[in-house]
Structure 1
Amino acid sequence: MSFDHARIATMPQLNSKPCGSNHTLEDPISADGTPVIGERYHVAARGGRAVRVKAGQTIRIINTHGTQVCDTWAFNQDNLNEFMSWEHGRAWIDGLIPKVGDPLMSNRRRPIMTLTADTSPGIHDTLMAACDLYRYMTLGVEGYHDNCADNLRLAMQAIGLEAPEVPQPLNLWMNIPVDDQMKIQWCAPVSRPGDYVDLRAEMDCIVAMSACPQDIIPINGDDCKPVELHFEVHD
C-alpha cells in the first residue's frame, strides 16, 4: 500500500481546516445554528450540520432509516476548546458504550451532555476516530471523498465557527464489537428505522452531526449506502 506522504503531511496544516468541501457548507439550519424549537431538521446523506443547544434543552437524533451511523460531537459554546471527549468519558462510565442516565464528559472532566433516552438496542461506538480523507486513501480512494472529519469542520464553518480540532466522536449506532481477544469487527448497525437517542445539554453547546459517508465497508448497512438522518431540539 502506497501513500502520498506529502499530501498527508500538508493537508490541512490546521486541524480546523477541511481537506475539501461539499454541500454541508451551504446548508446551515440558520446563520448561527440557532434552531426553531420542535422543528425537525435533516442531516443529508454524506453531509453534516451543527446546532446550538442551550443548557437544559434536549436534542433528539433520529436514525430515520435504521441503517445510518451518526458521528456526533458537542462543544462548549463559550469555549470551543472544551468538548465531549471519549478518552475522558470511558474512564468516567467505566465502559465503552454509554447507557441511559450516563453523563457524557468533556475533556475538562465535567458533564457536557447526558444520555436521557435510547430506543435502539444501545449499540454505539466510542472507539473509532471520525473517518477522514486519509482513511479513504488507505481504502484505495483516489481524489476527494466526503468524510466525517470534514463534515464537522464544514458544519461549524457554516454557522460562523471553527472547530479547534476533530475530537473522538460519539458514533451513534455504529456497531464495532470487541471480542475476548480484544479484536474488533466492522459490522452493520442493529438499530431500527425511527430509533432515536435524546441528549440533554448540561451547558450551552454546539452539537455537530455527520451522516457518515462510509460507502466501502458495511458500517452503514450491508448495502454500504449512506442515507439521511433527522434531529429536533426541545426545551
Structure 2
Amino acid sequence: MSRTQVPPATAKAVRVAAGDLVRVIDVEGGQVGDVFAFTEAGTGAELTEHHSAAHTRAAIDRLFPAVGEAFATDRRRPILTLVEDTSPGEHDMLIPACDPARYAALGAPGHRSCAVNLREALDELGLSFAGPTPQPINVFMRVPVAEDGRLSRLTASSRPGDAVTLRAEVDCVVVVSACPQDLVRISDADLSPLAIETVHNGGNPA
C-alpha cells in the first residue's frame, strides 16, 4: 500500500492499474475533494478519455453511484467502482470544479482552484489534458436538491478519517484536489488536507 498526502488547496495524481483500490481520505474532517479520473492507454503523455458525470448518471439512473455501482467515462466505459464509503454518504456530481473565472466573479482573482490544481498535478507526472476541465466527482460535498429543483451548497459533514474507496476498472490516472474554495463554505471552517491510499492488485486498505 502507498499513501500520498494532498496538502490543503492543492492536488496530487496517482497511477493505478485495473483491479487496484484507491481510497480518498478526509484526514481532519469537513474537507471537500474534487476527484478526476482518466484512462491511460498507450504511451502518449496527453490524456483523452475521462470520467463523465453525465454518462455516469445515464448509466445508473441516479445523481451519484451507490456502493457497488461504477462511474463511467465519456466513452460509456466503467472506469471506477465505488466499493466502500465510511462517510455520511453525501457527495456530488452536479457542481463544476472551481476555476479562475469563478474566483474572479467572487472578487478573488488569482485564488487557487481545482481546475488549475488538476493541470499542475498531471504535469507532475508528465501528463496533460487538452480538453475543458471535466466535471469532477465531488467527494464529501453536500449539494441537496429541493423539490423545486433548486440546489444548495452546505458545509461538508464528513468526519476525521472518513473515506471513499474506489476500484479501478481500467488502467487510469486519478487526481484528487483538496478543494481550495474558502469563500463559499462548502468545507469546514479551515481548509485541510486529504490523503490518497492505493492498494495494488485489489488488496484491502489498512
Question: Which band: TM-score by shorter chain?
Answer: over 0.9
Alignment equivalent of 2:115, drawn from 138, 143, 149: 149
Q: 2:5 is matched with which residue? A: 42
Q: 2:18 is matched with which residue? A: 55
Matches within 5 A, 1:105-116: 105-116=72-83
Q: 2:136 is matched with which residue? A: 169
Greater shift in the superposed pair: 78-87 or 61-70: 78-87
Q: Deviations over 1:67-107 (max 9, x none)?
A: 11110011001172111100100111111121100111010
C-alpha distance in 1, partners of 2:38/2:15? Answer: 10
The residue matched to 1:157 in structure 2 has which SS? Answer: helix
Alignment equivalent of 1:234, drawn from 193, 199, 202: 199
The answer to whether residue 123 in structure 2 is matched with residue 160 in structure 1 is no
TM-score normalised by length of structure 2: 0.92
In the comparison of the two structures, how many residue pairs are matched?
195
C-alpha distance in 2, partners of 1:81/1:186? Answer: 30
The residue matched to 1:87 in structure 2 has which SS? Answer: helix
Alignment equivalent of 1:218, drawn from 157, 180, 185: 185
Aligned residue identity for 2:34: D
After superposition, the CA RMSD in angstroms is 0.9
The residue matched to 1:220 in structure 2 has which SS? Answer: coil
Alignment equivalent of 2:28, drawn from 61, 65, 73: 65
C-alpha distance in 2, partners of 1:56/1:65? Answer: 28
Give the gaps of 5 or more residues in structure 2. Answer: 201-206
Greater CA radius of gyration, 1 or 2? Answer: 1
Give the gaps of 5 or more residues in structure 1. Answer: 1-37
Does structure 2 retain, via aligned residues, the 8 Å contact 1:101–1:115? Answer: yes
Does structure 2 retain, via aligned residues, the 8 Å contact 1:43–1:230? Answer: yes
Greater shift in the superposed pair: 86-95 or 76-85: 76-85
Structure 1 residue 65: deviation in Å? Answer: 1.2
Structure 1 residue 164: deviation in Å? Answer: 2.4
Aligned residue identity for 2:2: E
Aligned residue identity for 1:88: H
Report 1 or 2 for greater relative contact order, CA contacts < 8 Å, sequence distance ≥ 6.
Answer: 2
TM-score normalised by length of structure 1: 0.81
Structure 1 residue 39: deviation in Å? Answer: 2.2
C-alpha distance in 2, partners of 1:48/1:198? Answer: 18
Alignment equivalent of 1:195, drawn from 146, 162, 168: 162
C-alpha distance in 1, partners of 2:3/2:16? Answer: 14
Q: Deviations over 1:168-219 (max 9, x none)?
A: 0000001011100100111001211101111100000000110000011110
Identity of aligned residues (%): 45
